[in-house]
Each structure stands twice: as C-alpha cells, then as structure tokens.
Amino acid sequence: MSTEDTNAVVFQPSGRRGEIAPGKTLLEAARELGVDLESVCGGVGACGKCRIRVEEGYFPTCGITSGAAHITPTTPLEMGLFTPDELAAGMRLACQAHLLGDVLVYVPEESRRTSQVVRKEASAQDVPVEPAILRYQLKLPPATLAEPTSCAERLTAALTEQHGLPPLEVDFHVLQSLGRVGQECAGDVVATVWEGRAVTGLDAGMELGTALGLAIDVGTTTIAAYLTDLATGKVLATESAMNPQVAFGEDVISRLAVAAHEEDGLSRLQKAVIDEVNILAMRATERVGISPVAIMDVVVVGNTVMHHLFLGLDPRSLAAAPFAPVVRAAVDLRAGDVGLAFHPGCRLHALPIEAGFVGADNVAVILAEAPHRQDELLLIIDIGTNGELVLGKRHRLLSASCATGPALEGAHTEFGMRAAPGAIERVRIDPFTLDVRFKVIGLAGWSDENPPAIVRARGICGSGIIDAVAQMLGAGVILKRGNFNPDLRHERLIVEDGRPAKFVLARPEETALGRAITISLKDVRAVQLAKAALYAGAKTLLRRYGADAPDRIVLAGAFGSYIDPVQAMSIGLLPDCEPGLVTSVGNAAGHGARLALVNLSKRREAAQVAERVEYVELATDSDFQNDYIEAIHLPHMYDSFPKLTQALTAGGAD
Amino acid sequence: MSTEDTNAVVFQPSGRRGEIAPGKTLLEAARELGVDLESVCGGVGACGKCRIRVEEGYFPTCGITSGAAHITPTTPLEMGLFTPDELAAGMRLACQAHLLGDVLVYVPEESRRTSQVVRKEASAQDVPVEPAILRYQLKLPPATLAEPTSCAERLTAALTEQHGLPPLEVDFHVLQSLGRVGQECAGDVVATVWEGRAVTGLDAGMELGTALGLAIDVGTTTIAAYLTDLATGKVLATESAMNPQVAFGEDVISRLAVAAHEEDGLSRLQKAVIDEVNILAMRATERVGISPVAIMDVVVVGNTVMHHLFLGLDPRSLAAAPFAPVVRAAVDLRAGDVGLAFHPGCRLHALPIEAGFVGADNVAVILAEAPHRQDELLLIIDIGTNGELVLGKRHRLLSASCATGPALEGAHTEFGMRAAPGAIERVRIDPFTLDVRFKVIGLAGWSDENPPAIVRARGICGSGIIDAVAQMLGAGVILKRGNFNPDLRHERLIVEDGRPAKFVLARPEETALGRAITISLKDVRAVQLAKAALYAGAKTLLRRYGADAPDRIVLAGAFGSYIDPVQAMSIGLLPDCEPGLVTSVGNAAGHGARLALVNLSKRREAAQVAERVEYVELATDSDFQNDYIEAIHLPHMYDSFPKLTQALTAGGAD
C-alpha cells in the first residue's frame, strides 16, 4: 500500500490513514492525518502523554503488515516510562518512535485529546481543532538603506522564514494598515492566516489574542449562532432568535415571491437576516467580553432558499422546476461583502448545497452524523418546515426533500406553538376513561401531578400534537382515516353539527388562556399530510437504495429532540424500527456548521459529500405519489410495524 | 546585426530599431517598432501617406548595410506617385516595400503621424491590444429536472465548452445577479472575463457592448485619466485636473505629514484623489455617451507617495530613511475597494514600485520608452516636483530620484505658473542690447511680432524660466555663481539696495498683470538647485554605469515637452549630448499606464523591469554630494559641453 518514498500509517480506532515520509515520528504522522493524540510538551518526550500501541501482524483490511520492526527501537526514556508488560504489548511514546515502514497504531482512550473538542451530544463526532484561521507570532526585521524592502515583502518573508509558510497573499486591508503596525512595520507582530492562503489580519505586539469564529444555522424560522474560540474549538456562547424574514412570509415559497416580485425584495430579505446575525454576534461577544471585531471566520448553513437570501443571491430560479440553485459549490468570501460587521479580514464560508431544496443545512447534518463513515444504514430525518431525508452508509448516500408543512413545527394548527415554555409536549390518553394527562415545557412532572392552577398550558408544540394524534388513535377517538369516531360521546369530545369535531386536551382551568386547548379535525389532517410526506419520502429512498428498513433512525432538528419515537412511529411518521435505535440529535445542522468552523478538513469532506449524495426528486417519482396517498391513513400499528411491536410487547419501551 | 531569420531595421530620426521577419513591409516594421508613420488607408497603397526614404550605404553606428537592394523593387503604383528625383533619392511607400535584408529608413517630417496618436510625440511604441478584460458570447443551457445544475456550474461549463476557457472563478456580485440574467439564468449572455481568471461581469443578450478601461496617472500636482476602449485599445477621451491633495500640501513630504499626524489624514487624502478620479471618469464617459459603469479595468501609476495615498496604504514608512514602501509588487484589487464608482467587477491594477521614491510612474515611463529593449544608452529624465532618472539599455537599468523642488514646474518662483495659456515658455535675450523677446503659450509668434497689448503674459512656466536663466547667463546679466553682474546697469535691471536684484522679462504693457514680469535672484537660485540635483544625479548614474555620456536623452513629463534642450544644457541641467539626440516624449508615465491597460504582457514586463532596475540611493552617495555642490554653479558652456558646442558651432541647432 505504501509507495517507495512513504509508509502507510493507519490509526485506530479512528481509522485515519495516510502516506507518511519515513523518519517522521508517529506524533508527526498523527498531526498530519488529523488524529487526536494528546501531547502537552510538543513532542520532546517530556510529558509522556502521547502513548500509543504499535500492532503486530498483517492486517488484511488495511492491506499492511505492521510491527515493532517498522519503527525505531524503544528509547531509554520509554523504558523508564512503561512497565515491562506495556513494553511487551508494544506501547510507545508517539514522539519517540520514528517510521521505518508501514504501521498500524492504536491510540488508547487516555491518549485521545478530548478536552478541546466541540460536541454537544453523544452521537456527534469528535473532531480535532484544525481551524481555517491560525495565528503566528513574527519578528519583522526593519528595512535598511541597503535593503529597502517593502513591508509586505518582509511580512511574507518572515512567515516563510519563521514559520515555514509558502509565500502568501496579503489582504488589501492588511496592506493598508501595514505601515501602522509596529515601528515602520518592524518589530513584534501577530499575523492571522486564513487557510494557509492569505494574511487576513495583523496586530502589533506579541499577544496571540483570541480569534473567534461564528457558526450560523439560518433556519426558515430560527437563526442559531455559535460563538467559538478558534484556538480551542470551544463554544463560548450560543445565541438564537426568530428569523426576522418571518415578517415577509412564514415559508420559503412566500419569501421567494417577495425576492422575485417586490421592489428591493431580495436586499430587504438579506438585510433582515444579516442585521439579526450582527445582533446575535454582538450579544454573544458581549457575554464573553470581546468585541465582534475579533470574529475572523464564519461558517453559515441553511436550506437552499435561506442560503441564497443570506448571501444575496437572486433566488428566482428556485421558485419553479427544475429548482436550480444559483451556486451549488461552497462559497468563500469576505464576511463584510454580505454586511457582517466583524473583523475586516473575516471570511465567510457557506457550505455547499446538494440540489434544489436540499441545502447546506442538510450537508451540515450529514457532516455531523457522518453516515458516509459508518457501516449501518442510517436514515436521518431533519424535520422542519421542509422535511429533509438522508438514507445511506459508507459508499452511498441518498437524499430527498419533502414538503411537510409547518404543522410539526407547531404552526398552522389552532393551538400550535413552538417548543417554548407553556407548550404541551407530551400527551397520554387512557384508552378506557379517555382521561388526559400531559407534560408542559417548564412544568415539572405530568399535568395530573400538579394542581390545575399551576399547569398553565399555552398551546401544543409539534411533539405534543404527534403524541395527541397517536394517543387519540390508540384510544379510538379517531379512526384509521383520521376522522373522529362518529359513535363516541365523551365530555372531552366537542360535538359540532351533530358530529364530534374537537377533543379537549387541557381543560380551561389547566390553561393560561382561560379556555380549553383542543385538537380539531383540521389539526389531525395537517399531521396526516406531514407524516405521509415523511413516511413516503423515507420509503422511496429505501426502495431506491434497495433496503427494507434502516438500521438506525436519527431525528435531527430542534423539533426532532422532543419527539417520542414510539408515538411518531405509531402514527406512521417513521418507518418501522426498533425504538431504541431511534435517536434525536438536536440541531445537527448547527453542529455540522460548528464542525466545519473548527476543522478545515470537514469543509473538504462537506464538498465531497455534497458532490456524492444522490438527490432523489420526489415530485417526479410516481411510486412516491402512490406511497404518499396510501400513507395518509393512520396505520394499524401491529400490522405495519413488526419491529416496534416486538419491542413494545417485550416491554422494551414506554 | 541581423540574425538568420530576421532583418535589422532602423528608423531615423527616432532611432528606433529592431529585428523584423523578412517579407514584412516597412509599414508593418514601423508598427512593430512603434515608429509613428502616417497611414490612412491601412497599408493598401491607396493614400500615399507612408512615404519614407531608404538610405544607401554602410552605417557604422547601426552596424548595418542598407540599400534599395534590401527591399522589394519599386512598384508601378510608386512610379506613378513619386517624381524621378524622389525615386532616385530612394523614396518609397512603406506599405509597398517588403523587407529582403537590413535597412536604414528615414521618415520625413510630413510622414510622421502626429494627430491620431495617443501621445503627442514620436517615440511612443505601439503595442498590440491584449487587454486583461475579454468578453465572450455564451448560450447558457437551461437546468433540467434530470440535471438541476446550478447557474454557476452552467456558466463556467459554457465558458469551457463554448470558448475553451479553464474553469474560472466567478465574482460574488456576478453570482448574486446570476438568477436575474436571462430566463432563470439560461439563454444568451455575454460574460466579461478578467485575466482569464475570473468572471467579473455578466449581461443578458448578445450585445458585446463596449468594455472601457481607464489609465490614471496620479501626479503630485496633476491627475490625468485616459478613457480607453479595451477592445480596440483606442483612447476615447482624455481628462485631467489638478490633484486636489494640493490643498493638503504642495509636495509629497507635506502630504506624508498630513497622513501620519492629522486625524483621518490618510482617508481624507485618499478620498480627495479618488473623488477627483470619479469626476474625471464621469466627464470622460459623458463625452462618449457611455456610463462609468462600463469601466471594467483600471491601471494606476504615480510616484510612491501618490501610489500609497491613492490605495489608502499607510505611508508613514516613506517619511524617513530607509523609505521602505508598504508594498513594492503590483497590486490587483477591485476598483470599488478604493472607492472608484465603476462596474462592480471592475479591477484595479497598480503598477509596481521600484524602491523608495522611484515609483510606479517611473516603471510606466520605462514601459513607454523601453530602454531595456534598446542598444543605445538612454538617459530618461522625468522632471516633476521630484526628478526621476533612469539610465540604461538592454540588460542593465539604473534609477535614481532627486529632489528638484517645484521651481522647474513653475511653482515657488515669484511669477512661476504652470504651462498654461499666458505662460512665457521661450525667452531670447540679445547679448548686446539686452532686448528681450519671448513666446507666450496661446500666442502665435514671438512677443515682438505682436502688438504689446495682445501679448498679455501672465507668468513664467518652467521652460521659460530655464530659457531666461540660460539667456541671462549668455548675455552676462548673471554670472557663473548665479548672482547678478554687479557692474551691469540697464533699464531692465531693477536695482535694490544698490545692487541689481531683478531682470524684467515682460514690460508692464506686455502683461495681463499691469506690472512687469521679472526674474529675481531667488528664482535663479531655485533653478540652480534644481538643475544641480538633476545633473549630479545623472552624473552619479553614469559613473555607476561606467559610461561617460548617454547616447540619447529623453525628457519625460509634461514639463519636459516644453524644454529647449540647448538652453537646458547651457545651464547644466542636462549632461552633454548632441542636441538632436535629446527628445521630449510628454507624459510618458501616462503612456506607460495606457500600455499596461491595453496589454497584459506589459504588466508582466513592468514586474520584470521593477525587479531588475538597480535603484541608486543618491542620499548616501558621497560622490553625488560632491557633484551636486559643484553643479550649483552655472557652467561655462564651451568648456563643459563639447558635443553641444560642436553642434552649435556647426550651426546644427537653434
């Protein structure tokens, strides 16, 4: 596997591999390959942290033969550090072992660098901090009469001589200020370098300071911003706000219409979102006591329309088939070019788009969940105003977008609301008494465990409405077609025109509204349409993939975190799956954006992913239409979901 | 002198020479070598304007043997056109005579093109039009549901498939407007491409339109702007104005002080010059009835301080030794980045700087005069507030900068003024009677050929003051040290404190001022200092080069055009040279900027030239100091200038 000039090096358990020049240490190899390997002393053998194990034998999956003979012998320093057993097992310090041939290296848990890693949840990947922005301390020599070299020449020469960087471009604003830095552009300076390509900032003195990054997830309804220390990868502050474009229209279609037809529509939409991001950045930086001018790098994700409006790209080609985006590849530009008021050298990286409505947010979700690095068949469902689906594993990924409507986000239903304090998020209905108990965000315990007066429900969020529909179905309040059971009479059933038309979830005394919170036939219909679209979309992807069911289901999106998988499956929102293998990962798009912010190779990975994902256009798939119509009915659970049924009857899930 | 494949062709009196492929016409040779030769019909023999004479014999200075046998025989067309005497003298039409061997060609006065030339004078080179900006007609295919490729992908693919261009970057503002172009970014479009590297503009339709370029020469005192059609290389309009930075200080030193010490000094200086250029561009484009938005490319030249202030580069390192510029290499950026209000994709190219005070204007002068392509040792003197000197020929170039002060530009002397209508530009003094006659810009003939009342002199410009000092010296009004002859009494000599202190050039009735225009001792002193600096600078360069004298002297700068070489030499402003070999080339810096605007390879040539020129720091050259002090005295002409003397006594020059 190795060429004549290099050796193959594979690190486990990360699986990272590459060709490394002989003579390099395993620590250097780990750095080159982006492997998380602890080293405090920088590789001089002083800290003893970079412990690894060199495996012996032939490893057919890697195609290499590895062994102690392929690295330089154990040093006295190592002999003093390891026990004889450890030495016999192949333990080494990565900084002391130089490459002589191919090796397979195991990095034990205690040697993995984890403190500096960005992640929120268990399912997120750890990534090493390898940001686009690096800072370098420099000593700029003065010009002399014999060598009256320009400031710019001395700057780039110093980066080359003192840090081994190739000749770099220098941002024009840096040129403009060069004469102000140090004494006649000489002395101690700190240069900020973007992607090893351009000098984007320069400060006098020796202080490295804090280079901040901002990951932005622009949703149709919500904007989230993550302020990050680019040197450590740590999220310093998170801010979010309603997307002010909501004032122009709640869904992407109405905003496309504004951009296309209203005067200055596009620039007003762009200004609205940019202004809000500037405010979020201001708030976040205030919290940590640093100016927004310290923000040197931004990564933005969003669905295709949000992406276009954020960047000010005229989106009219997205308004009609074939829904061609203006640009699909990642876009790199100066953040100031879209109006972000950060450092003048701050860059903006918009992750690539897959196709049509499967946007940069979906690429970010894939980056975060990494189905393309796994051997299990993963179905990722990102539920928002648009549902975005990804199905796949290593070697093949499919994606699709389906219009779920806003019902699952708690909008467009009579008592619908976002998942905010006061929202009913869980519902249980006794199938015999039709008694209702529910959970309210912000309230401890169930409603019936509290005095009615303090329950103060204000509405129903998406997970609450799914629960309600599932429980109403289970209790026989509604039937397979979604309509109310015409034969049922109960104090919670409100009859209109002689037929049951609404079901009371919260009695007036349990609400903050002074009246009952109910579920109407219209609400049930909205849930039916949304779940049918998601289900039929997933089924279409499974059919294209040639699989019956996914191995795991990942629910992404803030909404996904609240969903009860059993309830969702019981109304047919998710394909059949063992409930324990359904996980919620929260705002995976935001997480993906953060990964791309702190790790440059994640941006390259995103480009590859976006290129590789096979986009399935559901609108023109006749089987999808068929599945969709069939899925509008509510399922008879025990027929449709053998895995779910098995899990439930075995008592495995609540 | 000629190689096997080419013939040496030398044109007189310009002295331009080069190697030309056999079979080409002498008209084509003249075009290739940048010789101004009239041709109205474009070389088809119809206009009879391109009359030249082919010289017979061996010419040792050129090293070639020339003769009628080295060109194709006289054609019947020519026989009908020329008299037998003319034919016998070697007269030909350049368009009819094809090269067979080396030739020396004389271009008579009447055949020199003077009207339609971008520059006023004979020595400019013509260059092929090879601009940085090219336009391409494209058919963008629509996206399809099967291939929902992005607009950007289809644009770059169309440039590749329809025009063979490599995959290009697309300017962000082009991306932003892509959705507006054509129907959903499909159909006929015209793409503007910069340097074969980036798409900088996009227009719907099939019309190529006019891509304009602007060459800008920012002088300390004057700004000149040349509006150019980038497709033809033709100058469409020329505008000039006083540099409004004059309000901040007349010389570069005082402007450096403003930039360094006054609040917002740099940005106010930059805004002043940029605003003025925007106005010049507006005026120039109005004249041709096109919007400034059609300007797609700009080249700017200027001395180092003007260059820095134009670009907004903090110039404080230029204020003290070692006078290091912020950047020496050429700078490419978007014109909008410095505030130029042209096309959003318009680029700005600032030519490189040589060193310290030898700026991009000097690089442009070298580009225009091309000493590095010649075998004669050329001394180029660009006279402005700073004098810039270049000495060299093929393989070696030296440059230097010397502070001449503003006297030669007509400033800082009592009656000094720019070379504008009303300025005395020529002076002759009768050595016996001390009668004065002079020429005034805007007045036909000499002052004594007109009634005094219509002479209306308003002041003295630089060439007038040189003439006056030279003639006063020749007539014994002033002596070698520059002081007035204490023994002389004359009605034109105004005596103050018992000593002659001023000399009357124009009597009150000959002026528009109502009083006499005089030359004072202070004026003479200013000229002495200026000419001493230039002379000593030239001498230092000659010494470094190892040459006694230049083969030719070129006077560049608007001021240089007005100088009478004999007078200038007689006060020791120029080193000794045959007066016929001193030529004035007008605003060579502006011409060089125009060459770089219309020809991309000239930009590369400029980079090489700037890299190669050896900059001589006069301030630290002890011989220069010595020469300077010695040169302050006015010379005794016949001792110091054997070549000049010989020419004058032979009656060869007036």
Which residue of A173, A175, A199, A615 is the best one to mutate when testing the B interface, meaning the one whose CB has the most B CBs within 10 A? A175
Burial label, B449 (beta-carbon count in 10 A; 0-12, 13-18, 19+): exposed
3-state secondary structure of B637: helix
Compute CA distances B153 → A348, B156, B186, B609, whole Å.
Answer: 21, 5, 12, 39
Judge: B328–A153 Cβ closer than 8 Å, yes or no. Answer: yes
In this structure, the answer to whether residues B443 and B307 fall within a common structural domain is no
Domain boundary among B171, B204, B237: B204
Q: Identify the pLDDT of residue B652.
A: 39
- Considering only CB atoms, A152 lies closest to which of B152, B184, B326, namely B326
In this structure, the answer to whether residues A392 and A541 fall within a common structural domain is yes
Chain B residue numbers with beta carbons less than 8 Å from the beta carbon of A175 are 311, 313, 326-327, 331
pLDDT at A2 over 60: no
Judge: A322–B177 Cβ closer than 8 Å, yes or no. Answer: no
In this structure, the answer to whether residues A338 and A231 fall within a common structural domain is yes
CATH number of the domain enclosing A561: 3.30.420
The nearest CA of chain B is from the CA of A624 a distance in Å of 16
Judge: A326–B151 Cβ closer than 8 Å, yes or no. Answer: yes
In this structure, the answer to whether residues A398 and A476 fall within a common structural domain is no
Residue A379 resides in a domain: yes
* Percent of chain A residues topping a pLDDT of 90: 49
pLDDT tens profile B24-75 = 999 888 877 777 777 655 566 766 778 899 988 887 767 788 888 899 999 8
The nearest CA of chain B is from the CA of A353 a distance in Å of 10
Return the DSSP state at B71: B
pLDDT at B86 over 60: yes
For residue B593, what is the enclosing H or E element?
A: helix B588-598
pLDDT at B646 over 80: no
Both tokens assigned to B493: 């000599």
Q: What is the mean pLDDT of residues A102-129?
A: 59
- Considering only CB atoms, B620 lies closest to which of A145, A180, A322, namely A145
Residue B118 resides in a domain: no
pLDDT at A120 over 70: no
Judge: B179–A316 Cβ closer than 8 Å, yes or no. Answer: yes
Q: Identify the pLDDT of residue A201.
A: 95
Chain B residue numbers with beta carbons less than 8 Å from the beta carbon of A158 are none
Domains in chain B, number: 5
Q: What is the mean pLDDT of residues A542-560?
A: 88
pLDDT at A297 over 80: yes
- Considering only CB atoms, A327 lies closest to which of B175, B180, B327, namely B175
Judge: A176–B313 Cβ closer than 8 Å, yes or no. Answer: yes
Compute CA distances B517 → A120, B438, B440, B505, B630, whole Å.
Answer: 86, 12, 12, 6, 30
Both tokens assigned to B209: 């339109």
Q: Identify the pLDDT of residue A575.
A: 86
Residue A15: pLDDT band with limits 50, 70, 90 = confident
pLDDT at B475 over 60: yes
Burial label, A130 (beta-carbon count in 10 A; 0-12, 13-18, 19+): middle
Q: Which residue of A has its CA nearest to B352?
A: A150
Residue A2 resides in a domain: no
Chain B residue numbers with beta carbons less than 8 Å from the beta carbon of A169 are none
Q: What is the mean pLDDT of residues A167-187?
A: 87
Both tokens assigned to B55: 């010289």
Judge: B176–A355 Cβ closer than 8 Å, yes or no. Answer: no
Judge: A151–B337 Cβ closer than 8 Å, yes or no. Answer: no
Q: Which residue of A has its CA nearest to B266?
A: A176
Q: Going along A72-186, which residue ranges are E strands?
A: 91-93, 103-106, 133-140, 169-170
Q: Which of B40, B33, B27, B21 is nearest to B97 (CA)?
A: B27
In this structure, the answer to whether residues A328 and A255 fall within a common structural domain is yes
pLDDT tens profile B285-340 = 999 999 999 999 999 999 999 999 999 999 988 888 888 899 999 999 999 999 99
CATH number of the domain enclosing B187: 3.10.20.880
Residue A637: pLDDT band with limits 50, 70, 90 = low
Q: Going along B339-403, which residue ranges are E strands?
A: 347-350, 378-383, 386-393, 396-403
| Least confident segment among A258-267, B505-514, B566-575 | B566-575
In this structure, the answer to whether residues A311 and A395 fall within a common structural domain is no
pLDDT tens profile A135-163 = 999 999 988 877 788 999 999 999 999 99
Q: Identify the pLDDT of residue A649.
A: 63
Distance from C-alpha of A467 to C-alpha of A475, rounded to nearest angstrom:
12
Residue A366 resides in a domain: no
Q: Identify the pLDDT of residue A652.
A: 39
Q: What is the mean pLDDT of residues A428-451?
A: 92
Residue A362 resides in a domain: no
Return the DSSP state at B375: S
pLDDT at A38 over 80: no
pLDDT at A380 over 70: yes
Which residue of B173, B174, B176, B337 is the best one to mutate when testing the A interface, meaning the one whose CB has the most A CBs within 10 A? B176
pLDDT tens profile B187-226 = 999 999 999 999 999 999 888 889 999 999 998 878 999 9
- Considering only CB atoms, A327 lies closest to which of B150, B313, B315, namely B150
Q: Identify the pLDDT of residue B48.
A: 75
Judge: B179–A313 Cβ closer than 8 Å, yes or no. Answer: yes
The owner of tokens 């550090």 is: A81
The nearest CA of chain A is from the CA of B358 a distance in Å of 12
In this structure, the answer to whether residues A148 and A218 fall within a common structural domain is no
pLDDT at A361 over 70: yes
Domain that holds residue A439: 408-521
- Considering only CB atoms, A178 lies closest to which of B170, B178, B326, namely B326
Q: Identify the pLDDT of residue B647.
A: 66
Judge: B176–A314 Cβ closer than 8 Å, yes or no. Answer: yes
Domain boundary among B492, B516, B540: B516
In this structure, the answer to whether residues A232 and A315 fall within a common structural domain is yes
pLDDT at A8 over 60: yes
3-state secondary structure of B41: coil
Q: Which residue of A has its CA nearest to B184?
A: A317
Compute CA distances A80 → A45, A74, A93, whole Å.
Answer: 12, 10, 12
In this structure, the answer to whether residues B586 and B560 fall within a common structural domain is yes
Q: Within 13 Å, how many C-alpha atoms sit on residue B366's CB side?
A: 37
Average pLDDT over all residues of chain A: 86
Average pLDDT over all residues of chain B: 86
Q: Which residue of A has its CA nearest to B325?
A: A150
B312 to chain A, any CB pair closer than 8 A? The answer is yes
Burial A70-105 (b: 16+ CB within 10 A, else e): bbeebeeebeebbeeeeeeebbbbbbbbebebbbbb
Q: Identify the pLDDT of residue B560.
A: 72
Distance from C-alpha of A520 to C-alpha of B449, rounded to nearest angstrom:
108
* Percent of chain B residues topping a pLDDT of 90: 49
Q: Which residue of B has its CA nearest to A184?
A: B317
The nearest CA of chain A is from the CA of B527 a distance in Å of 29
- Considering only CB atoms, B149 lies closest to which of A175, A324, A620, namely A324
Chain B residue numbers with beta carbons less than 8 Å from the beta carbon of A624 are none
pLDDT at A101 over 50: yes
Chain B residue numbers with beta carbons less than 8 Å from the beta carbon of A615 are 148
In this structure, the answer to whether residues A611 and A598 fall within a common structural domain is yes
Judge: A176–B353 Cβ closer than 8 Å, yes or no. Answer: no
Q: Which residue of B has its CA nearest to A357?
A: B148
Which residue of B175, B261, B269, B357 is the best one to mutate when testing the A interface, meaning the one whose CB has the most A CBs within 10 A? B175
Residue A360 resides in a domain: no
Dihedral of the alpha carbons of B404, B405, B408, B409, in degrees to the nearest 10:
130
Residue B499: pLDDT band with limits 50, 70, 90 = confident
Chain A residue numbers with beta carbons less than 8 Å from the beta carbon of B622 are none
What's B223-268 look like in SS3?
EEEEEEECCCCCEEEEEEEECHHHHHCCCHHHHHHHHHHCCCHHHH
B167 to chain A, any CB pair closer than 8 A? The answer is no
Q: What is the mean pLDDT of residues A369-391?
A: 89
Rounded to a whole number, what is the distance in angstroms from the first to the last CA of chain B? 35
Q: Which residue of B has its CA nearest to A153?
A: B327
A331 to chain B, any CB pair closer than 8 A? The answer is yes
Residue B139: count other Cβ atoms within 10 Å of its Cβ.
13
* ipTM computed for the complex: 0.71
Residue A191 resides in a domain: yes
Judge: B145–A617 Cβ closer than 8 Å, yes or no. Answer: yes
Domain boundary among A479, A499, A521: A521
pLDDT tens profile B341-380 = 999 999 999 999 987 678 999 999 999 999 999 999 999 9
B261 to chain A, any CB pair closer than 8 A? The answer is no
Residue A361 resides in a domain: no
pLDDT tens profile B114-150 = 422 223 232 334 678 899 999 999 999 988 877 778 9
In this structure, the answer to whether residues B566 and B593 fall within a common structural domain is yes
Chain A residue numbers with beta carbons less than 8 Å from the beta carbon of B172 are 311, 331, 333, 337
pLDDT at B651 over 60: no
Q: Which residue of A has its CA nearest to B185?
A: A317
Judge: A151–B326 Cβ closer than 8 Å, yes or no. Answer: yes
Compute CA distances A260 → A318, B179, B350, whole Å.
Answer: 10, 10, 39
Q: Which residue of A has its CA nearest to B321?
A: A145
In this structure, the answer to whether residues A398 and A532 fall within a common structural domain is yes
CATH number of the domain enclosing A259: 3.30.420.480
The nearest CA of chain B is from the CA of A566 a distance in Å of 37
B574 to chain A, any CB pair closer than 8 A? The answer is no
Judge: A151–B311 Cβ closer than 8 Å, yes or no. Answer: no
pLDDT at B1 over 50: no
